[in-house]
Structure 1
Amino acid sequence: MKTRLILCLLAAATAASAEEALDIAKLSLPFIKEKGLAWIEDRQCASCHQIPSMLWSLNSALKAGLITESPEVVKWTPWAADWRHWNQTKDKDGVDKVSAGNIDTMVFLLLGSSDPAPAWAADFRAQLLKNQQPDGSWKAGGQLPLGKRPPREIHEVTTMWTLLALKPTADDPVRKRAEDYLAKAQPGQSTEWHAARLLLKPDDAALREALLAFQHEDGGWGWLTNEPGDAFGTGLALYALAKSGLPADHDSRKKAVAFLKSTQRPDGSWPVPSTRARDKNRINKTATYWGTAWAVIGLLEEPAVTGVSAAR
């Protein structure tokens, strides 16, 4: 009887935590829609970060049952998947040149798309395979190379995300070249590096513990592991940890949800410092949007009911 009572209490606490995560994410959706659509109207460009992260977060909300329909996903997914909307040059440079400079755009549209796979998925994967470098890597494009982390780490992260996007279709030589490239990597400075590494090997307990070790006392992760917690780093960590089997009642997840609740603005967003080196950690709109979308993605990725149960 006592054991049953404890299990019931744990189940109730887990359910309450899950509801809290849904409530936090729901508050963010109007911001994500409004600022995403404003970007499209102002820039007429999908970008590697803005519209793919809008669509991924809205698809996550649909999957979680937080919303039952999304006109934005229906209307803007085909628009964002059209390579003519990836650069200001439109169709001047041709699909191959534009695709080569927008690896991350294709990758995040693939990873954030709904099931079944959209018609353009095969074309994207063909372009990704075509653009693997001789050393096995894929090169980051757009403004990503301007990030405040070592150049090699930037390309390692793009390579890891690309492998994840290709996972169902990549043949052995492609995967081996990429894995050989990544085998030479030093531990990254960004939470994103550690999250992507765990996503590639979700059953690796050492990688999971390495990511958990970067959580700050307040419950957050920084985009860079040595920086204060923010929504971007915390969302990435939550997503990867949920994918790796970290259960909903794990102390680390509960602390992260509490961190996001306490730092969320009334409009549903979170202030996030720029990821570009030249911005010197100033809060900016791009990082705030990107981080807010990732917080939603991380909050809505359903964690395991059982699995890694030992709290830190």
Structure 2
Amino acid sequence: MARASWMAAFSLGLWLSQPTLADEPASIPPAKPKQVEQAVERAIGYLQTESAAWLNTRKCAACHHAPMPLWALSEAEQQGYAIDKKFLADTTESLLGSKDKLMASKIFSNPADPPDPRPQGRGLNMGLPFLAVAAQASPSLSEGQKQSLKLIADEIVKKQQPDGSWEFFATLRRPPINESQTTDAAWIIMALEGEAGPDAPESRREALSRAIAWLDAAKPSDLHQDKVMKVLMGARSGKPRAAMQTTIDELLALQRADGGWSQTVPEFKSDAFATGQTLYVLSLAGYTAERPEIKRGIDFLVASQASDGSWPMISRSTPDGSPGSSKLLTPITCAASSWAALGLARLAPKRP
């Protein structure tokens, strides 16, 4: 864990309020530890407010507005930051407390409802693995919540294809949350790993084995997120850093001149989604804030945060998943801000 030993002088400079398509590198000054902590605290406030508002108005446990903030808040609390514990506990219970609550969240199908005739009705609702991974970050779960995670695992097994993969509907994708079949598979595998221990049904362990084999055999891609997920899965499974070093080196080589990382879109500049993801997985692999590349990534996030605690983003997709510009930017903003909070909290735990 990195603490205060990386202190450096700082005078907060101006930075673009959102990623742009410009090419010129920006000069970003180093952030003081106190300013990093303040960035995390602002992010916590934003995530709690934004997630609560979405759940109250949309009544949907979307990947970006429920699981991702819950995960970020859980990790921030474990790093010493103050969060609204009641919000975290109540929201987790409202989504995972029972099978009925899972169905009410609109991410778990109700057997009493007529079958979904659309092609995506055959697939797995990706809100389920996101919610399961987020719940795994919680230090304690109730018995009802644990049972819900088992239901999610069984649904994952039920929707698995014979080759070990899960259907991916390219026309319905929502990058970067659902960027590709391989990034989706990584999330599903992480969710299934939590419920495929020695005492789990053989069907779950077999499904997990097939899924890992499918992902290992999948054609390598140049997606930034695929590299991130490879390191994330390796770190979570306890692989030594040496086993992940090639991918780590590829991620480090992708760092931009401004200190951030960008999604795999050539004309996009650095953003909080890619930068937060990268910092978080590198921290899991043992990198600390003393490392120059990590310090520069932290500086980028501190300088680019908006006053409300979020990190403004631009869209990568329209509602049908094709490239374009969506008018609703709160989903990508909330997801990116969650990743940024995850990365910063891990690398800069709250000091006494």
Q: Secondary structure at the match of 1:112?
A: helix
2:224, 2:264 within 8 Å by CA — same for their partners in 1?
yes
Higher helix share: 1
**CA separation in 1, counterparts of 2:91 and 2:171?**
22
Residue of 114, 118, 121 corresponding to 2:149: 121
| Structure 2: gaps spanning 5 or more residues | 9-30, 197-203, 236-240
Residue deviations 1:207-236 (CA, integer Å, cap 9, x gap): 111122221111111122633110111111
**CA separation in 1, counterparts of 2:43 and 2:223?**
24
1:112 aligns with 2:134: yes
Bigger relative contact order, structure 1 or 2 (CA pairs below 8 A, ≥6 apart): 2
1:139, 1:159 within 8 Å by CA — same for their partners in 2?
no
Q: Secondary structure at the match of 1:29?
A: helix
1:140, 1:155 within 8 Å by CA — same for their partners in 2?
yes
| TM-score, with structure 2 as normaliser | 0.72
Root-mean-square deviation (Å): 3.4
Q: Hey, what does 1:178 align to over in structure 2?
A: 211
Q: Hey, what does 2:103 align to over in structure 1?
A: 84
Residue of 74, 77, 94 corresponding to 1:62: 77
Give the CA deviation at 1:45: 1.0
Residue deviations 1:50-105 (CA, integer Å, cap 9, x gap): 11112112112211111154221111112223322343998476599799755432
Q: How many residues align?
A: 293
**CA separation in 1, counterparts of 2:154 and 2:312?**
37
Percent same amino acid among aligned pairs?
Answer: 25
1:83, 1:99 within 8 Å by CA — same for their partners in 2?
no
AA at the equivalent of 1:115: P
2:107, 2:128 within 8 Å by CA — same for their partners in 1?
no
Change (3 A) 1:185 1:89: closer
Change (3 A) 1:200 1:89: closer
Change (3 A) 1:17 1:159: farther
1:28 aligns with 2:57: no
Residue deviations 1:9-63 (CA, integer Å, cap 9, x gap): x962269865543321111122212211111121111112211112112112211
**CA separation in 2, counterparts of 1:41 and 1:18?**
35
| Structure 1: gaps spanning 5 or more residues | 1-9, 305-312
Residue deviations 1:170-213 (CA, integer Å, cap 9, x gap): 36533332233223333334322211111122331111111222
Alignment of 1:61-210 (within 5 A): 61-67=76-82, 69-81=84-96, 82-87=101-106, 91=110, 101-113=123-135, 114-117=138-141, 118-119=145-146, 120-139=148-167, 145-147=173-175, 154-170=180-196, 173-202=206-235, 203=241, 204-210=244-250
**CA separation in 2, counterparts of 1:111 and 1:88?**
14
Change (3 A) 1:89 1:13: closer
